[in-house]
Amino acid sequence: PQLMVVHGQISIPKNMIFLSRNVLIKFSYSYFTAAFRRRLSTLPSRVLGNTGIETSIIGLGGVGIGEVYGKVSEGEAVDCVIRALELGINLIDTSPNYGNGRSEERIGLAVNALAGKSSFTATTSTTIITKCGDNGPQNNGHSPFSKDGVHSSFKRSLKLLNPPSGTIDVLLLHDPSQEDLDEFFSPETGGYVAFQELRADKSIRATGIGVREHDVLLRFMEHTTNLADIIITVNDWNLIRRYAETELFPAATRMNIGVLNGGPLYMGLLSGVDPEKSFRQGVKSLLEVPTLVKLARRVKSWSDEQNLDLRALALHFAAGPGSMSPPIAGALLGARFASEVEELIGSLLLGCEKELEKYTQAAKDFEETFGAEIRQFNPESHFYYDKSKIDL
């Protein structure tokens, strides 16, 4: 039997069998024909800095499937990852901190479910990013910023992700403070030594950092160890918050460092869902940012009045044509379910391809309406993640 496409919808035969865990997905026939796979792989791609890694302009963030924003079954999480790969996403970002390894394990199950299928080529080119630097059992009692702690964390991530290649593409330092960097860069015992060793033995292809604080990012980027192949900016380049353009983007361009945009939908505020409702999901319910939510509600009302898909406009800005001036290789989008992945990619293609002219004009109209207010918005009214206070 063959998959059928009717009015853009995929019809899946009933004899496709889904199981769980080690026999997670089993098909009674070859899953996709090569021609159909090519048809799905339509997402634009860009090269990630000087790494040579080519990634789709959006990647799947693994926070949601780690149940940080609410319950997700293992089957639903794995289905989410597989759907992302089916639709052309080839970049997945995760961390031991996302559900205490739950996100990594589910990603590993999904990727391995597709490995070895000659008709499905995504698994051979999927770039997986994981991180170190958080407290937890992955450090085996060592400091997360020490050489031994980094090696221990990486070993556990490798076991959970279990990539078909036996290696993980990218390892990032996760949310360190300046004091954490002092320890990380300590001669001989610091975590930077582990980064160098893992790169030298080809256990990883690239290294870097993901953190909100710009002074920490810049210090890591400029350090003489040259470990900043890639950085993830956090909630700092989207429609209503744009602090990365001042120092980070110029520095990354000068040093040819790959930039991934974390938070293009700003914790769901730009997802098209009522911001009040969005900020009652999971860990976000602990946050108190009333002025920010009020701004986001006004933005949503404006987009509704203009008959716009707010998510499409946000992705036009953060991942599409609006991100071409900053050196952004891709934007990371969280999803928990396959249906959410489909909606995200639908919005991306709407704003960046199908109705490009409309959303290019909408971006200009948005600037005229909100640009001055956003530039003058009180920085203290924004959301800032503090891992010492919020347990993911």
**Digit-coded pLDDT (tens) for 178-227:** 999 999 999 999 999 999 999 999 999 999 999 999 999 999 999 999 99
Residue 338's pLDDT is what? 96
Q: Which of 21-25, 77-81, 210-214, 374-378 has the lowest mean pLDDT?
A: 21-25
Residue 114 pLDDT level (bands cut at 50, 70, 90) = confident
- Who contacts 361 (Cβ-Cβ below 8 Å, separation ≥6)? none
Centre a 10 Å sphere on the Cβ of residue 353 and count the other Cβ atoms it contains.
Answer: 13
Q: What 3-state DSSP class applies to 40? A: helix
Would the pLDDT of 76 be above 50? yes
Alpha carbon 192 to its chain's center: 23
Tokens of 375: 């530039």
- Angle between the 338-349 and 310-318 helix axes, to the nearest 10 degrees? 70
Contact 333, 59 (CB under 8 A): yes
**Concatenated DSSP letters of 289-329:** -HHHHHHHHHHHHHHHHTT--HHHHHHHHHTSGGGTTTTEE
Q: What is the mean pLDDT of residues 50-56?
A: 94
Tokens of 113: 């479910």
Q: Which helix (H) or strand (E) holds 331?
A: strand 328-334
Of all residues in the chain, what percent carry a pLDDT higher than 90?
A: 73
Dihedrals phi, psi of 146, to nearest 5 degrees: -95, 165
Q: What is the mean pLDDT of residues 76-92?
A: 95
Residue 68's pLDDT is what? 82
Which whole-number Å values give the CA distances from 10 to 56, 87, 89, in the listed order? Answer: 22, 12, 18
Would the pLDDT of 11 be above 70? no
Tokens of 205: 């292809």
Is the pLDDT higher at 164 or at 130?
A: 130
| pLDDT (tens digit per residue) in 228-257 | 999 999 999 999 999 999 999 999 999 999
Contact 332, 262 (CB under 8 A): yes
Residue 325's pLDDT is what? 67
Nearest-Å Rg of the Cα atoms of the chain is 20
Dihedral sign, Cα of residue 154, residue 179, residue 245, residue 386: positive
Alpha carbon 38 to its chain's center: 23
Would the pLDDT of 148 be above 60? yes
Residue 132's pLDDT is what? 98
What is the end-to-end Cα distance of the chain in Å, rounded? 43
Tokens of 215: 């002074």
Is the pLDDT higher at 383 or at 292?
A: 292
Between CA 349 and CA 255 the distance in angstroms is 31
Which whole-number Å values give the CA distances from 382 to 249, 276, 315, in the listed order? Answer: 20, 15, 20
Between CA 322 and CA 326 the distance in angstroms is 8
Residue 388's pLDDT is what? 60
Contact 244, 207 (CB under 8 A): no
Centre a 10 Å sphere on the Cβ of residue 216 and count the other Cβ atoms it contains.
Answer: 18
Contact 106, 74 (CB under 8 A): yes
Between CA 43 and CA 183 the distance in angstroms is 40
Tokens of 21: 């865990």
Place of tokens 């949503």: 300
Task: Please state the pTM of the whole predicted model.
Answer: 0.86
Q: What is the mean pLDDT of residues 380-391?
A: 70
Between CA 118 and CA 30 the distance in angstroms is 8
| pLDDT (tens digit per residue) in 319-334 | 987 766 678 999 999 9
Tokens of 204: 């990883």
